Amino acid sequence: MLATRWEPWTELNRLSREMDRLFSRGTNGSVMGVGSYPALNVWEDDDNLFAEAELPGFCMDDLEIYVTGNQLTLKGERKPPEHEGGTWHRQERGYGKFSRMVELPGDIDAENVSAEFKNGVLHITLPKSEAVKPRRIEVKAN
């Protein structure tokens, strides 16, 4: 090329991305490895377990949720926005496929699992199977 334009910021961004990749502290897709994405919050009451994950930019069609026994598996893919030409100054959000399996403390009634998705937050309700629900034992007084 005859005229090469020096673009210091593009250079710097490229360098910073390269460093991120090397030390895998993750900007470019590396957050979306197997196993750790998405971060989950899980809590329970007597009848249900609840799992919540932040999945901005996904819609229900991009997500697969599986429940077998006491395992919950989440799979999905997020595609990056596409632009012809131009320059990326910052790419901090992750893209690509992810898959995560977690073990829950008890068996789940897989038939009745429900999930809702609102503003990029996934909320899953996992009813406990009858066998593992706490049962109150009545103590009879004589």
Partner 1 sequence: MSTTMTTTNQNETLQQNGNRRVSEYLNENGQQARSTFQPRFDIWEGDEELILYGDLPGVNTDDLDIQFENRRLTIHAKVDRWHDGEGYLYSEYGVGDFHRTFTIGEAINSEAISAEMHDGVLTLHLPKSDHAKPRRIQVKAN
Residues that bind partner 1 (CB under 8 A): 7-10, 26, 31, 36, 38-44, 49, 51, 54-59, 80-81, 83, 85-94, 102, 104-105, 117-121
- Among 109, 103, 111, residue whose Cα is nearest residue 130: 109
Which DSSP helix (H) or strand (E) runs through 41?
strand 40-44
Cα–Cα–Cα angle for 75, 80, 81, nearest 5°? 140
Query: How far apart are CB 42 and partner 1 at their closest, in Å?
Result: 4
Query: How far apart are CB 72 and partner 1 at their closest, in Å?
Result: 10
- Decide whether 83 or 140 has the Cβ nearer to partner 1: 83
Could you tell me if 32 and 75 are in contact, meaning their C-beta atoms sit under 8 angstroms apart? no
- Decide whether 69 or 120 has the Cβ nearer to partner 1: 120
Query: How far apart are CB 141 and partner 1 at their closest, in Å?
Result: 33
Query: How far apart are CB 138 and partner 1 at their closest, in Å?
Result: 27
- Decide whether 4 or 87 has the Cβ nearer to partner 1: 87
- Decide whether 84 or 111 has the Cβ nearer to partner 1: 84
Dihedral sign for Cα atoms in the order 121, 48, 65, 116 = negative
- Among 8, 2, 1, 141, residue whose Cα is nearest residue 87: 8
Sequence-distant (≥ 6) Cβ neighbours of residue 45 within 8 angstroms: none
